[in-house]
Amino acid sequence: MFTIKRLTVVVGIVYVGALSVFGQQPQGDGPRYQDGTTLVRPTDYREWAFLGSGLGLDYEPADPSRSPNFTSVFVNPSSYRSFIQTGTWPNETVFVLEIRRSETNAAPNLSGRFQGQLVAIEAEVKAARFPDGWAFYNFGQANALRDASAPLSGDAVASCVECHTKHTAVERTFVQFYPALRGGRPVAVWARQRFDFAARTEVSAAAPAPR
């Protein structure tokens, strides 16, 4: 009886200890929400998978009087690994768009541009919790970044949805701008059917998505 009681106590202690340890484990690397849809701004996104960076990519015609911005895109690591294997983005994928000024005035640079001060941070999430399956977020300007953001709606999101539906190579993502995802991947064949990467022009918006 003593042995059984002591064993029960030991097992109980181990069980409680295990719960304590596992309870301290960090959450998954996907999106975190405050109320089911309000996205908490990721603070460690620069440790995520880097998809690509552009200079001067914009929805509007170029303004010669304004220096172009750098835009860099990051995705949570587990979704990146899943995409590499399947060619599709899994549920609860989160992309972070970091916008920075381009600068030239730094030795020994004479003509090129490099990333400078942060301008703004935006995000895109693929999740079944949203009626459309996707959501877009704007955390604001660098001098007043919000810790969390509700998904854009109405006119504020209309242009995002339109562009990310008509001109993206894979689902609602601009894989055509992400070299790390284009070659030797399951998605490459389907993506090339829709988008001519060499010519940077859209071929067919009706190409079937990968299964």
Can you read off the two tokens belonging to residue 205?
């918006």
pLDDT of residue 23: 33
pLDDT of residue 98: 95
Q: Kindly state whether residue 123 falls inside one of the protein's structural domains.
A: yes
Q: Kindly state whether residue 129 falls inside one of the protein's structural domains.
A: yes
Mean pLDDT of successive 10-residue stretches along the chain, which has 211 residues? 46 39 55 97 96 82 78 95 92 96 76 81 97 96 96 92 86 88 57 52 46 43
Q: Count up the domains in the chain and report the number.
A: 1
Segments forming the whole domain that contains residue 18: 2-202
Q: What share of the chain in percent tops pLDDT 70?
A: 71
Q: Kindly state whether residue 70 falls inside one of the protein's structural domains.
A: yes
Q: Kindly state whether residue 210 falls inside one of the protein's structural domains.
A: no
Task: Say which CATH number the domain at 169 has.
Answer: 3.50.70.20
- 51 within 8 A of 178, measured Cβ to Cβ: yes
Q: Kindly state whether residue 26 falls inside one of the protein's structural domains.
A: yes
What average pLDDT does the structure give for the chain?
78
For the beta carbon of residue 38, count every other beta carbon within 10 angstroms.
14
Q: What is the pLDDT of residues 42-65, one digit of tens each?
A: 999 999 999 998 887 776 676 777
pLDDT of residue 99: 93
Nearest to 124 by CA among 2, 17, 19, 42: 42
